[in-house]
Amino acid sequence: MDDVREADRSWWRIPPRDEAEARVRWIGLAVVLSTVLTCAPPLIARAEPRPLMIVLLAVLTASLLIGRRTGRVPVAMDVLDALCFTLVLMISAIPLVGFGIGFQTIWYRCLYSSGARNLLRALLFLFAYSAGPVLWWNVQAQPNPDIFTTALTAGFFTTVSLSIFGWQLAESINAREFSSRRERLIAETGTRLLGATDGERIRQTGWQALESLASFTPGLRVARLIRTSDGLNLDRTTGFPHPPPPGLTSIDRVSELDGGCGWEVLAYDEIPDVSIALGHPGRVPPDVVSTAGSILNQVVLAHRNSETHAELVTQALTDPLTGLANRQGFTEATARLLSGTGDLSVMFIDLDDFKDVNDNLGHAAGDDLLVRVAAMLRSLVRDNDVVARLGGDEFAVLLKGIDERTAGHIAERIVLGLSTLTSGPAGQYAIGASIGLVHSDAQISLPELLVRADVAMYRAKAQGKGRMQTWQPELSPHSELLGRA
C-alpha cells in the first residue's frame, strides 16, 4: 500500500526550520541529485550503448523529482527505480561508479515510506545490486573478477545498512513532526476558543480540531456520540475509510462502528450528553488519546466559561428581586424590536400608593408586594412579551405584534388586576397603577419612544391615578416632553 504524504509543491524552495520533515526531504533530494550529476559524466563517457545510459539517468532523475512533487512514492516507482539502476550497472564500464546513485536513492526514498515499504524497497535494490553485476559480467568482453566480487559484497551490506538507517531516520523525523503538529493543533485550538461564548461555535471548533487530528494521524477514526435515553446516537464521524452504514444512527457499543479497531471513549461530566470515540487499528496510540483529551479539555473549559458568561449577562439584565428584566434589559429588548418591523407598544407602569405600604408595613412587605405585582403582570401578557421592573415601584411592558387598540385593552386589564392587590394583616393597604401607553411608528427613535411613555404615565397619575393614558401629540410640546422626562 502506498504511503501517501502531503505533496511538496514548492520543491525548489528550502522549507522553514520548523518543518523538520519537509526540510530533511529537501536536503535528501539535493544530495541524491548532486550524486547523479557527479556520477553521470564517467558513467555516460564509458557506457555502451551511451544513449541508453543517458535515458536511464534521465528516468531516475525524473522519478525523484516526481516523487518530491507529488509527495508519494508508489510501488511502481520503486520498481522503476530498481530496474533502471540494474540496467545502469549492467551497461557501465565499472559498476562501482554508479553505486552512489543507488545508495542515495534508497535512504532518500525511505523518508516517504513506512517500515513495510522500506523493506520492499530494500529487497528490490538488493536484487538490483546482485543482478546488475551478474549482467555486467555477462556482457563485458573481459570482466574483472575483483570488481564483480566487490560489487556484490558492497551492494548487499550497504543496501541493508542504508535501508535500516533511512527507515530509522524517517521514523524519528515523522515522530517529531507528528508531535510538533499535535502541539500546534492544541495551541491553535486554544487560541480559537479564547473568549468564545457561543456554545455552538465552541462545539464546532472542537470538532474541527478533532478532524485535523484525524487528517494527519493515519488510521485514526473519530465519532461524536450523543447520549439519550435510547442509548448512543451517532452524530458525526471523520477518518473512517468507509462511512458507517446509512442506517446506523444508534449503537449499543462503539465497536459497532468498526470491529477491527480498538476504541477509546472520552466523556466529561460538564457535557454529559456528548462523548467522543477514538478508533484505531489494533489500539489507539496513547499520544493521540492525550492530544484529543487536551483538545476536549479546552472545549470543556470554554463551555464552562460560556455558561458563566451567560449567567453574568443574565444577571446584568435581570432584576434580582422579581426575576423580571431590569431597565438595561428592557432598553436593549426595546431597541432590538424597534429596529425591526411590525407594531410595537410600550407601557410605563407606576404603582399608586405603594409608599404607604413601605412606610407602614416595612420594606419586607413592600418587596413581597413587588413580587406579586411582577407575577400578575406576567400572567396578564403573552410569554413572548417583555415585562420589566425599571426600579422602585416602576414597571414596564413591551408588546410586539398587536395594534394600538388591543394594547389599550391589555393596559386596562392590568389596571384592573393590580387594583385587587392589597397588603397588611387585614388587607387595609390597597394599591393601584397609573399606566402610560405609547404605540410606535416607523420614524420614532428609542429615546423619544420612552419619553412619550413616561409623559403619558405622568398624565394618567395627574388625572386621578388608577387609570391608563395613551400618548397623544397634544399632551405636551416635544421640548416639554424631554424636560419632564
- Predicted pLDDT of residue 478: 47
- Predicted pLDDT of residue 446: 85
Same domain, 372 and 467: yes
- Predicted pLDDT of residue 189: 92
What is the residue range of 246's domain? 194-315
SS3 (DSSP) at 393 = coil
Catalytic center residues: 393
Same domain, 224 and 354: no
The number of domains in the chain is: 3
End-to-end CA distance of the chain: 80
| Cα gap 409→426, rounded to integer Å | 31
- Predicted pLDDT of residue 138: 83
Which residue is it, cell 391615578?
465
Which residue is it, cell 410606535?
440
- The mean pLDDT of 465-485, rounded to a whole number, is 68
Report whether pLDDT(427) > 60. Answer: yes
Note whether residue 3 is domain-resident. Answer: no
- CATH number at 220 reads 3.30.450.40
Q: List all residues 6 or more positions away from 312 whose beta carbon is below 8 Å from its beta carbon.
A: none
Q: List all residues 6 or more positions away from 165 whose beta carbon is below 8 Å from its beta carbon.
A: 107, 110
- CATH number at 454 reads 3.30.70.270
- The mean pLDDT of 89-97, rounded to a whole number, is 85
β 468-470/432-439 pair status: parallel
Same domain, 448 and 480: yes
| Cα gap 164→121, rounded to integer Å | 11
- Predicted pLDDT of residue 438: 94
| Cα gap 204→206, rounded to integer Å | 5
Note whether residue 239 is domain-resident. Answer: yes
Mean pLDDT of the chain: 84
Note whether residue 10 is domain-resident. Answer: no
Strand residues in 282-343 grouped as ranges (E): none
Same domain, 297 and 335: no
Chain segment 236-292, per-residue pLDDT in tens: 888 887 776 555 555 666 776 777 788 888 888 878 888 899 999 888 999 999 999
